[in-house]
Amino acid sequence: MILIDGKKLAQEMRVEIKSGVEKFKLERQRDIGLAVVLVGENPASQVYVRNKIKACEEVGIKSYAEYLPADSTEECVVELVKRLADDKNIDGILVQLPLPKHLDADRILKLVPTEKDVDGFSEENTGKLCMGKDCLVACTPNGVMKMLERYGVETRGKKAVIVGRSNIVGKPMAMLLLNADATVTVCHSKTANLKEECLRADILVSAIGKAKFITADMVKEGATVIDVGMNRDENGKLCGDVDFEAVKDKCAYITPVPGGVGPMTITMLMYNTLQAASRR
The domain that contains 185 carries what CATH number?
3.40.50.720
Q: Phi/psi of residue 5, each to 5°?
A: -85, 95
Question: Is 12 a member of any domain?
Answer: no
Catalytic machinery residues: 52, 96, 119
Contact 39, 103 (CB under 8 A): yes
| Same domain? 145 vs 254 | yes
pLDDT digits (tens, 9 = 90+) for 81-95: 999 999 999 999 999
pLDDT value at residue 226: 98
- Residue 6 Cα distances to 45, 171, 259, 279, angstroms: 21, 22, 6, 27
What is the tens place of the pLDDT at every residue in 93-150?
Answer: 999 999 999 999 999 999 999 999 999 999 999 999 999 999 999 999 999 999 999 9
H helix or E strand, kind and range, residue 83: helix 74-86
Task: Indicate whether 95 and 186 sit together in one domain.
Answer: no
Q: Specify the number of domains making up the chain.
A: 2
Residue closest to 38 by CA, chosen among 122, 100, 102:
100
In a domain, 279, yes or no: no
Q: Residue 234: its pLDDT value, please? A: 87
Is 134 contained in some domain? no
Question: Given pLDDT bands bounded at 50, 70 and 90, which one contains residue 53?
Answer: very high
CATH of the domain at 48: 3.40.50.10860
**Domain, as residue range, for 229:** 139-262
Per residue in 152-171, pLDDT (tens digit) is 999 999 999 999 999 999 99
Judge whether 206 lies within some domain.
Answer: yes
User: pTM of the entire structure?
Assistant: 0.94
Residue % of the chain over a pLDDT of 70: 100
175, 226: one domain: yes
